[in-house]
Structure 1
Amino acid sequence: MKSKLQLLASTILLLSLISCGIYSFGGVNLDNRVKTVQVDYFPNNARLIEPSLSQAFTVALQDIFISQTNLDMVKSGGDIHFSGEITGYRINPMTATAEQTAAQNRLTITVQVRYVNKYEEDKDFEQSFSFYHDYDANAQLVGGVLDEAFQVIFERITQDIFNASVAQW
């Protein structure tokens, strides 16, 4: 009985994959000619400057393509190309205490991205991506607090960029 259920499940899975056409288990939907990706340095053009932000974001964006695709990272002439700038870096109070002071602050980072696909120009875009991280208002946004904020924000923004460009979700 168990083997019949396994056979039935396998058949259904196989038929569903065939009926969907070409499917990539990595979620990447790119022309077969695309072999390289280029991620330019993202300068911080926000009003508030955090010295490590540009380098950290650029590396995070490169890392997602290295870890989730088999594309080669190149410095110029990439088949797909990402450029842009950090346009927003702001800290706002979010919740108040009974003493009318902030209990939490929110760091929001916004990035303007230009995506160019050498082989599928209709998929090119220029778009803004943004995300935030809330942290205790008594904490200073340095060291581990800043690292955690960057990790949370970059994970979301880079995944959103990845989905919009090569996963096309």
Structure 2
Amino acid sequence: MRKLKSIALYFIFIGSTSFLFQGCGVSYSLSGGTIPDNMKTVTVLYFENIAPMVFNTLAQNFTEGLKERIRTQSRLSQVSQDGDAIFEGVITNYVIAPAAVDATTDRAALNRLSITVKVKYTNRIDQTGESDFEQSFTQFKEFSGDIQAQEAQLNLDIIKMLTEDIYNRAFANW
């Protein structure tokens, strides 16, 4: 009987909680994002790579990675211009630097690849501009050995982390 009461209370709580969120004008997703109900489209402009050191496919991979993140974690339709939300920006830094030195050889035992992206997000639905931002995001991966053999995969890993940070900042206010 106690178990039956607990289950009933659980369903009452879940039902009342979902009822409260229905009228808020914001969609809640399992990925943690909060996208206004009236936001339907998004535009992701090409992120040019202006970093002093360049990896040839980074700009294309980053732009497509951000589009993919939004496509898989939101209900927004992507349009080439004039979306309800607009992401634009540039890749400002691409650096490979030593992260740890081997005491016996005085050489790098561990290296770090860092990528920085400057993002401007505009929410054209929010007339107050409070949710708009312009911010730089940096992520890195550490590696050992030759960079050429690992660089493409390191870039993809960092892009995943960067796009998660950007998505969360835009749609979860983190």
TM-score normalised to structure 2 length: 0.86
Determine the C-alpha separation between the residues in 1 that align with 2:17 and 2:73.
24
* 1:1-169 mapped onto 2 (5 Å cutoff): 1=1, 2-18=3-19, 22=24, 24-26=28-30, 27-99=32-104, 100-120=106-126, 121-136=129-144, 138-142=145-149, 145-169=150-174
Residues 17-72 of structure 1, C-alpha deviations (whole Å, 9 max, x = no match): 55667461333323322111000110110010111100000000000110001111
Cα RMSD for the two superposed structures: 1.8
Determine the C-alpha separation between the residues in 1 that align with 2:4 and 2:168.
37
What is the SS of the residue equivalent to 2:142? strand
- For structure 1, the 5+ residue unaligned runs are none
Determine the C-alpha separation between the residues in 1 that align with 2:162 and 2:141.
12
Determine the C-alpha separation between the residues in 1 that align with 2:147 and 2:55.
13
- For structure 2, the 5+ residue unaligned runs are none
Give the number of equivalent residue pairs: 166
Determine the C-alpha separation between the residues in 1 that align with 2:53 and 2:16.
53
Q: How much does 1:163 deviate?
A: 0.9
Structure 1 residue runs of 4 or more that deviate by more than 6 Å after TM superposition = none
User: What percent of counterpart residues are identical?
Assistant: 34
